[in-house]
């Protein structure tokens, strides 16, 4: 069994397959090059999105969101953005205390706590 890269796994799972495939399931070299070009585009779009977001360029951000949505690649771009975010987290691991997974787990708890506090405030409870 061969474990595929992110884009291939996403494609395979969306087609109803499992996370691993046999060599017979792999694309031809030409098809692989074609898919890699799409992956490169999705990573480039993810970087453009993050760049516009950091620059607070709402006009560019809106135009890019429309472009990605119309192309039907929103989930692939989202997956590329997640990979980039994880890469950034690993690059910043020293600043985060060296344990990216712990930081991610604590972030989820912080979000849950914020949601609980917001719900209590909306219901008139203490928050």
pLDDT (tens digit, 0 to 9) for every residue of the chain, 127 residues total? 333 455 555 565 555 555 565 667 677 778 877 777 778 888 889 889 888 888 999 999 999 999 999 999 888 888 888 888 887 777 777 676 677 777 677 776 666 666 677 777 766 655 4
Q: Give pTM, 2 decimals.
A: 0.53
Residues near 114 by Cβ (< 8 Å), separated by ≥ 6? none
Collect all residues with Cβ–Cβ distance below 8 Å to 112 and sequence separation of at least 6: none
Evaluate whether 23 touches 2 at the Cβ level (below 8 Å). Answer: yes
In the chain, where the domains are located: 2-91, 98-127
């Amino acid at each position: 069994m061969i474990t595929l890269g992110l884009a291939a796994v996403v494609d395979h799972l969306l087609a109803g397959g499992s996370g691993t495939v046999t060599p017979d399931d792999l694309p031809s070299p030409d098809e692989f090059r074609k898919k890699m070009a799409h992956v490169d585009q999705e990573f480039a779009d993810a970087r453009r999105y993050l760049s516009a977001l950091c620059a607070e360029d709402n006009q560019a951000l809106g135009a890019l969101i429309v472009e990605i949505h119309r192309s039907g690649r929103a989930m692939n771009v989202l997956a590329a953005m997640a990979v980039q975010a994880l890469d950034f987290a690993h690059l910043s691991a020293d600043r985060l205390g060296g344990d990216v997974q712990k930081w991610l787990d604590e972030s989820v708890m912080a979000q849950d706590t914020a949601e609980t506090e917001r719900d209590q405030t909306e219901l008139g409870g203490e928050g």
